[in-house]
Amino acid sequence: MQTTTKRDLCEKIARRTDNTHIIVKEIIQMFLDEIIGELTDGKRIELRDFGVFEIRKRAARKARNPRTGEVAHVPEKSVVVFKVGKLMKEKVCNSTSV
């Protein structure tokens, strides 16, 4: 599986929009910063046909160190979850490239 980076996305969008790589990079970074900010404020991000980002609480639990067998307490924490949107799910599931 090949990895696409933010830089790769910036270059593709810059070519398609006839903008400079620097402008596109700044816009993408602003977009990502806004998503992070909204999630930090406890809000849910819904991007139609793409998916939904939201914060969920992961309950405290007991874990075990596999080396020593010692029990460790893992506190409650917040995690970001992503649920895939309908259109993306259909396109990815029907994709032949894997």
Give mean pLDDT, residues 13-39.
96
| Closest to 40 in 3D by CA, of 53, 22, 21, 24 | 53
pLDDT > 90? residue 1: no
H or E element: which one contains 31? helix 21-40
Superfamily of structural domain 6-93: IHF-like DNA-binding proteins (4.10.520.10)
Distance from C-alpha of 37 to C-alpha of 20, rounded to nearest angstrom: 26
In this prediction, residue 96 carries a pLDDT of 67
Q: Work out the mean pLDDT of the chain and round it to a whole number.
A: 93
Taking the domains of the chain in order of start, what are their residue ranges?
A: 6-93
Q: How many C-beta atoms lie closer than 10 Å to residue 93's C-beta?
A: 8
